[in-house]
Amino acid sequence: MNASRATSHPLLWSLVLIAFVVIIAFYFRFWFQRGEAVGVTHPRPTGGAGVEVPDHAAFIARLDEDVLELGRQVYEANCVVCHGLDGMGGVNGARLFPTEEFRNGADPWSQYLTLSRGYNLMPAQPMLSTEEKHAVTHFVREQFLREQNPSQYTEITEEYLANGPWPAPGGADAEAPHPHGRNARKALTIPVKAVSAQFTVAVSLGPQDQWRQLVAGIPLSEAERQQWMGHHLSPWAARQLLTALADEDPDVFVQTAGDHLPPISLLPASRVRAIREQLLDQAPSSLDL
- Whole-prediction pTM value? 0.47
- Give which of 129, 120, 222 is closest to 176, Cα–Cα: 129
Give how far the C-alpha of residue 7 lies from the chain's centroid of Cα atoms, to the nearest Å: 66
Kindly give, in sequence order, each residue whose CB lies less than 8 Å from that of residue 121, ignoring residues fewer than 6 positions away: 93, 188, 207, 239, 242, 243, 246, 287, 289
At residue 93, what is the residue type? G
- Give which of 201, 206, 211 is closest to 231, Cα–Cα: 211
C-alpha distances (whole Å) from 182 to each of 7, 126, 187, 226 are 60, 8, 11, 30
Q: How far apart are CA 129 and CA 54, in angstroms?
A: 11
Buried b / exposed e across 158-178, counting CB within 10 Å, b at 16+? eebeeeeebbeeeeebebbee
Cα separation of the two ends of the chain: 92
Q: How far apart are CA 136 and CA 117, in angstroms?
A: 15
Q: What is the pLDDT of residues 216-243, one digit of tens each?
A: 888 888 888 888 988 777 888 888 888 8
What are the backbone angles phi and psi of residue 17, rounded to the nearest 5°?
A: -65, -45
Q: How far apart are CA 139 and CA 117, in angstroms?
A: 19
Q: How far apart are CA 23 and CA 19, in angstroms?
A: 6
Q: Which pLDDT score is estimated for 238?
A: 83
Q: Which pLDDT score is estimated for 36?
A: 62
Task: Report the sign of the C-alpha dihedral through residues 160, 163, 169, 175, in that order.
Answer: negative
Q: Which pLDDT score is estimated for 130?
A: 92
119: which strand partners?
122
- Give which of 92, 79, 119, 78 is closest to 240, Cα–Cα: 92
Q: What is the pLDDT of residues 115-125, one digit of tens each?
A: 988 887 788 88
Contact 192, 204 (CB under 8 A): no
The pLDDT > 90 percentage for the chain reads 28
Q: Which domains does the chain have, with CATH numbers?
A: 56-167 (1.10.760.10), 207-282 (no CATH)
Tens-binned pLDDT, residue by residue, of the chain (289 aa):
555 555 667 788 888 889 888 888 877 777 776 666 555 444 444 444 455 789 999 999 998 999 999 999 999 888 988 888 899 876 667 888 999 998 888 999 999 999 988 887 788 888 889 999 999 999 999 999 999 999 999 999 999 898 888 888 875 554 544 333 333 333 333 343 333 333 333 334 577 778 888 888 888 888 888 889 887 778 888 888 888 888 889 999 999 898 888 888 888 999 999 999 988 887 645 444 3
Q: How far apart are CA 220 and CA 272, in angstroms?
A: 12
Contact 201, 192 (CB under 8 A): yes
Kindly give, in sequence order, each residue whose CB lies less than 8 Å from that of residue 245, ignoring residues fewer than 6 positions away: 214, 253, 276, 279, 280, 287
Q: Which pLDDT score is estimated for 3?
A: 53
